[in-house]
Structure 1
């Protein structure tokens, strides 16, 4: 055997480096045999019962009348059955049901001191302050799963489990193959078919196709052409992690069932400094435990039967906005600003994800107001929010808008900006809460000038965030100033590089482009 041989045998150039990095990121390695044992030897199952059941006991207590109680063993088993036996209703629809269980938990009845009440039980701790210590994270390889109606097996390369629940599936390919990423994606798509191993993908939140020189990601149900590249500058923090050797104990587990020359080969590689690869960047950016949980909980949505996860520009834009709205200006108002993301980059879904994030800030008496300047845009945003399970109230008139914004019930409101004129001048609308967030679509347009003043008069302490898909012209710079400055940009050049739009011409320093029809998120078509 030559030193070079392992690089192109059994995908060692991709799979073993991935396992080494994932362990350094906090994932505990399970051998394929252990992964079978933790499923009770049942290859038709995909949940590690031997991990999940103890975690259900650890994560959940009942607080009742000042005391704490454990859930009964019957309720622990009920929760296990609830997550394992969701009635199949199509791949994505069933995935959505399971997603809701994972995020919202399960309500279970229990009798304490003769008093029977329902109490929430959770499968995963989503609290950023505690989720790295309360949850357990495992990675395994060659995860055997029995095909539907068959005793044949499929073996996805890598699977990541949180509390024994498979949240991510990774296919690794060696770079000497023809179009390795396309092959990996094709394998992921094949495995989701009804006659393959769809059960695994009922739980998956993130899917990756990786090779040493390239990587793409998506989620359950995403067609090949919509898999995306994640971009993030992580090399400085990642390089030391990539080059940190595993402990002897971890090496013994990882290489225990492999030929001795494989371990010897990788031991020799440790003596050299390894450069960070695109595969490393993707695994660090998407799969380190805290990022996977964040993407799952805060940046995943279901849009009219299609599952979508944020693209990098949406993720970082929302992070910037959340940081900004926690700051205050000299008048004590939350800071706003303008987001310039080029057409086709998913502004509507960015607004949905931002609204979800704002809701989860748990602010008292919050309101989210979505403002457009055309009926068709108002209709589009209203439908997008409804499809994503955020039920908005649509202002039918200026008087109705005044009622919606003044009253305590309506949390998410959509309106055309013209309705503010009646609401302010005739209905004397005024809501002084500083927990009102006004999201203005196509905020660069000239007609927002006078109306912006009326909105400010009606909502004097609100946080105003403008979204625009076209470059802001010099004469429109005051729009940015009115909103509070520029928050984030995603230009036509960046969209072309990401293949989100196709360039038609470049003339006089201005891009002209058309959309590729790619989604605004790494998911199905939007």
Structure 2
């Protein structure tokens, strides 16, 4: 509903800033689903928009090739995710968004081999549609006391809902906690946690969700599905776009928390980058949770990528290799995740795909995350369980991900080393300049 301080001071400025970055804005209608590109208020996908974008994004020799049958197969893959726990459904949907769906190929194209339909053009943000809907009505399942929910802003990419924003007036009592609680109602998270007895929302809207945002203008925070207020954090940077550039774009001398979050996370190229490289699922105390990067991690990875791409090698510099550096983290701030995000990002940059990446750490959970990251690019993590294995893997030419658990090589084990495992003088194992060594605190 437009009107009132929440609209004037928070939601309307939010939509205006999105529009300035290329988003299309639609004001929802509680009586007519076609206004928001749907046949029914039960739908969460804008199916016709999605079918159109699938044709445009997936090309053969620069021309569309998908027929109605294959389009229906792709749309159904997202639309018919089974009744599961929300986190399980979201993980399945996220894997589809990132990896696409396999369909039967064409007989005259590579011998008819299977093709992958991609839902998003990750490499060319400008080829995707970005749409923000104010007051999107989504009907709740039959039998519920509540007929429908209407999130303040729902964010769509190519007709797929990937973000939900809840706005509260700056003068409201505890606006951020209230907004998070409302998002939890929409997701039926409170029901799942046993806090209430009846369903309150429609979790299907959140199957493909990547970001949950709460804002009261002066304070804006981001979280992921299932999270409570403790895990919603501010995004305090606009990098890699300079702060001064964003201030000039908006004609402001100072940015609010809401301005910074929108500029840092929802600029189309940033949003796709975050979904593709900086979001993952992790097991915590036996429970699967979804994690999105902090702004410091996003900034650090981009700075590292810039240095790897443009820093001088030892040969070019004549003195030292200028591509390395130190990324400083406070205790518990996610340094292992920063390493995972960097590896994922490197594997999407053509010039960096050829790198051999050597990770030295004492974290077994990092090995699991890197294994998942490697799977996205068709790689496998090569595990070095001894000094001799490390030497063999380092000497091997070509790209790869080598994982060296540091406790396998501690001094207390030296008495047990075989002659071939004694370190000694390693000499020159590999003179390739496309090698990155990442050392975790250990």
Structure 1 match to 2:244: 236
Tell whether 2:128 aligns with 1:135: yes
Match of 1:456 in 2: none
User: Any conservation in 1 of the 2:26–2:36 contact (CA below 8 Å)?
Assistant: no
Contact 1:62 1:119 in 2 (8 A): no
Q: Which residue of 2 aligns with 1:329?
A: 313
Counterparts of residues 137-152 of structure 1 (less than 5 Å) = 137-150=130-143, 152=147
- 2:284 aligned with 1:309: no
1:352 aligned onto 2:340: yes
Normalised to the residue count of structure 1, the TM-score between the two structures is: 0.69
1:432 aligned counterpart, secondary structure: coil
**How big is each residue's C-alpha offset from its partner over 1:158-179, in whole Å with a ceiling of 9 and x where there is no partner?**
0111111111110010011101
Distance change in 2, residues 1:426/1:13 (3 Å): closer
Q: 1:403 aligns with which of 360, 380, 392?
A: 392
Instruction: Give structure 1 stretches of 5+ with no counterpart.
Output: 244-272, 444-526
- Cα gap change, 1:424/1:433 in structure 2, threshold over 3 Å: closer, same or farther? farther
Counterpart contact for 2:56–2:64, Cα < 8 Å: no
Among 44, 47, 62, the alignment partner of 1:46 is 44
Mean CA deviation greater in 117-126 or 274-283: 274-283
Residue 385 of structure 1 aligns with which residue? 370
Q: Tell whether 2:57 aligns with 1:59.
A: yes
Deviation at 1:409, TM superposition (A): 8.8
- Aligned counterpart, 2:430: 431
Number of aligned residue pairs: 399
State whether structure 2 residue 5 is matched by structure 1 residue 26: no
Find the counterpart in structure 2 of residue 343 from structure 1: 331
Asked if the contact 2:344–2:373 (Cα under 8 Å) also holds between the matched residues in 1, the reply is no
Equivalent residue, structure 2, for 1:205: 210
Deviation of 1:302 (Å): 1.5
Tell me the CA shift for residue 411 of structure 1: 2.3
Question: Following superposition of structure 1 onto structure 2, how do residues 152-167 of structure 1 map, counting pairs within 5 Å?
Answer: 152-167=147-162
Q: Which runs of 5+ in 2 are unaligned?
A: 190-198, 411-419
Give the alignment partner of residue 303 of structure 2, picking from 312, 320, 324: 320
With over 3 angstroms needed to count, the CA separation of the structure-2 counterparts of 1:423 and 1:187, relative to structure 1, is farther
Greater alpha carbon shift after TM alignment, 187-196 vs 43-52: 187-196
User: For residues 68 and 36 of structure 1, what CA distance do their matches in structure 2 show?
Assistant: 29
Shift of 1:385: 3.2
Mapped partners of 1:383, 1:74: distance in 2 = 37
| 8 Å CA contact retained: 2:278, 2:292 | yes
Distance 1:318 1:193 in 2: 34
Change in 2 beyond 3 A, CA 1:336/1:427: closer
SS in 2 for 1:46: coil
**Aligned partners of 2:353 and 2:399 also within 8 Å:** no
| Higher normalized strand content (fraction of residues) | 1
Distance 1:415 1:275 in 2: 46
Please list the CA deviations of residues 241-263 of structure 1 after superposition, one character each: whole Å capped at 9, or x if unmatched.
445xxxxxxxxxxxxxxxxxxxx
After TM superposition, the score normalised by the length of structure 2 is: 0.82
The whole-number CA distance in structure 2 between the counterparts of 1:109 and 1:366 is: 33
The question of whether the paired residues in 1 share the 8 Å contact of 2:355 and 2:399 is answered with no
Q: CA RMSD in A?
A: 2.9
CA contact (8 A) 1:303 1:387 kept: no
Distance 1:290 1:76 in 2: 25
Tell me the residue number matched to 1:479: none
Higher Cα Rg, which structure: 1
Worse-superposed segment, 152-161 or 33-42? 33-42
Q: Residue 432 and residue 164 in structure 1: after superposition, are their counterparts in 2 closer, same or farther (change >3 A)?
A: same
**1:102-141 correspondence to structure 2 within 5 Å:** 102-113=97-108, 115-127=111-123, 130-132=124-126, 134-141=127-134
